[in-house]
Amino acid sequence: MFTADRNEGQRHWEDVTVGEQLDSERFPLSLYRLVMAAGGNRDFNSIHHNPAYAAASGAPTAYANHMFLQGMWEKTVRRYIGCAGTIRALRKFTMRSFNTVDDVVMVSGTVADKWRDGNVGVVLLRMWSDNGRGVSVGPGEVEVTLPMRRGAVQ
């Protein structure tokens, strides 16, 4: 079991290597999942849960909204940084194409840079989403902090 005091399973800044790949996360998009996401983030625009309405508006079918797509990135990043890491900034999050019903979105990332900001270990992650037809969101950046090991040289 993870405890904040023991930091079991927690990634530390010293463990990170520039160029390292994050484990990709797979998100199958069923209509049910889009309906639940729309309800969860209170975006009740019919383009996100009604395929006929979305098609009438020019989209191929119902598609994932911005907040749901950001949540996919957050889940992927959170698995990498652990509970003691923090997300400081999200940059260049650009939706390039629809992520629609029946797509399987793969969120991936790499470590682009790392540095110290005083006593804080900072890591810059390059992130993107691919829906099987190419990059659908990003590439973008997520700046995170990670704990440093006790006694780490400053």
pLDDT in tens, 51-64: 999 999 999 999 99
pLDDT at 142 over 50: yes
135 phi and psi, to 5 degrees? -65, 120
pLDDT digits (tens, 9 = 90+) for 63-107: 999 999 999 999 999 999 999 999 999 999 999 999 999 999 999
DSSP per residue over the chain, as a string?
---TTT-TT---GGG--TTPBPPPEEEE--HHHHHHHHHHTT---GGGT-HHHHHHTTSSS-B--HHHHHHHHHHHHHHHH-TT-EEEEEE---B-S--BTT-EEEEEEEEEEEEEETTEEEEEEEEEEE-SSSEEEEEEEEEEEE---TT---
pTM of the model as a whole? 0.88
Q: At what angle do helices 31-40 and 66-81 cross, to 10 degrees?
A: 90
pLDDT of residue 2: 35
Question: What pLDDT score was predicted for residue 80?
Answer: 97
Dihedral over Cα of 107, 74, 87, 67: its sign: positive
